[in-house]
Structure 1
Amino acid sequence: MEPQPRASAGCMVVVVGPSGAGKDTLMAAAAERFAGDPRLHVVRRVITRPSDAGGEDFEGVDVTEFERRRASGDFAVHWQAHGLHYAIPRNACERVEAGQIVVANGSRSALKHFQKAFSHLVVLNIVASKAVLAERLFARGRESLDDIEQRLQRGDLGVKGDFEVVTIDNSGPLDRSVADMTALLGDLLARLPKPGPMA
């Protein structure tokens, strides 16, 4: 059963963008920048691949365990891509409902699922020029140059649908993109209701 969104003072910020755009790098920088602020939480995704596969900090599980947890209602959002299963833990809903800013690495194909689960959703679309994407993907050494060129030809950097979207171009210096992301999250934090007076 899919979770139903409830009105909340918090916000889910789902980060999307093509491979090589720098989503993981920017999210790690944001986690470090706001590490001392309990109002902001960066999600650790559940993915059906080994935990030592590298890249983002995630919880690796097998398909059987993933399906068990999905059936138990442990996930706020789940989807499939590139032969893998991905999920956002259920406590992300609880954090947003409690008035926190929650940041999650998502997928453009799953945005409708995020929209159903969270009443306040901001899509942070990280993009980069095709030349920069090609350079970064080639440096990873996972695909041939021909495969990369075909991937980029198929790729679309836009976000389709009725969403609140903020786009950051991460083609240039990383510190500029980090500053842009930090400013966005800082603005969202500033909009949170002030805590009431102590009894």
Structure 2
Amino acid sequence: MQASRKLTSTVPGPLIVVLGPSGSGKDTLMSYARNELAARDDVLFVRRTITRPADAGSEDHLPMTDVEFDAAIDRGDFSLTWAANGLRYGLPRTIEAHLGQGKPAVVNGSRGAWGVIRQVFPTAVAVEIRVDRSILAQRLQSRGRESAQEIEARLVRAAALETGFEADVVIDNSGTLERAGLALVGYLTQRADVQS
């Protein structure tokens, strides 16, 4: 995992970073929260740039090729970039104005990049999405993208990343979407209300 720092000033608003292993339901929960909080303009849901094609099975992101990503870096389009699992990720510089007004922004993050995210965004807080191992395995199998060996590797990596990582908030997404979604909405609402 590589990361690069691009932020030029300290910002007061919290960057709320949603973290969790593949299959934990981060995208689904963020979509649920985005819909529930659609009437609020003080909570910004950030669309990441990823060097991966857009498809229905992944998060809503801005797809770029590696060449386009390099050009975006050269233009100064990103506050932060990092690489993980063979892909490159970027957070748009436009979030700095929102955070600069003391308002929270929410982004799908990477636990492997958490240390660098905190360096670049000192106000960042981690919301970790956890799922029982057996349920996570079922979800990974049902989406049909990985072999049994790849799924096992993901489960091992997910368990390893929990060690030594302390989230500000942990949400269990082993049950219903509504239960976990309401927990995320409640936390985001609380953070937004504190900032206002």
State the TM-score, normalized to the length of structure 1: 0.89
Q: Map of 1:36-185 to 2, 5 A cutoff?
A: 36-52=39-55, 54-156=57-159, 158=162, 160=164, 165-185=168-188
The percentage of aligned residue pairs carrying the same residue is 38
Q: Is the 8 A contact 1:4 1:116 kept in 2?
A: no
Cα gap change, 1:167 to 1:159, in 2 (>3 Å): farther
1:115, 1:149 → 2: CA distance? 29
Determine if the alignment matches structure 1 residue 2 to structure 2 residue 3. no
Q: Per-residue deviation at 1:170?
A: 0.5
- Greater gyration radius: 1
TM superposition shift of 1:160: 3.5
Report how many residues are paired: 191
| 2:47–2:60 contact (8 Å) kept in structure 1 | yes
Given the superposition, is the C-alpha separation of residues 124 and 5 from structure 1 closer, same or farther in structure 2, using an over 3 Å criterion? farther
Q: Partner of 2:179: helix, strand, or coil? A: helix
User: What is the alpha-carbon distance in structure 2 between the residues aligned to residue 44 and residue 38 of structure 1?
Assistant: 15
* 1:3-25 superposed Cα distances (whole Å, 9 cap, x missing partner): 144141x2100111001100000
Q: 2:87 is aligned with what amino acid?
A: L
Q: RMSD between aligned alpha carbons?
A: 1.7
Q: TM-score, normalised by structure 2?
A: 0.90
Q: Distance in 2 between matches of 1:182 and 1:129?
A: 21
Structure 1 portions without partners, runs of 5+: 194-199
Residues 21, 126 of structure 1: 8 Å contact kept = yes
Q: Is the 8 A contact 1:39 1:99 kept in 2?
A: no
Of 62-71 and 126-135, the range deviating more from structure 2: 62-71
Larger mean CA deviation between 52-61 and 75-84 belongs to 52-61
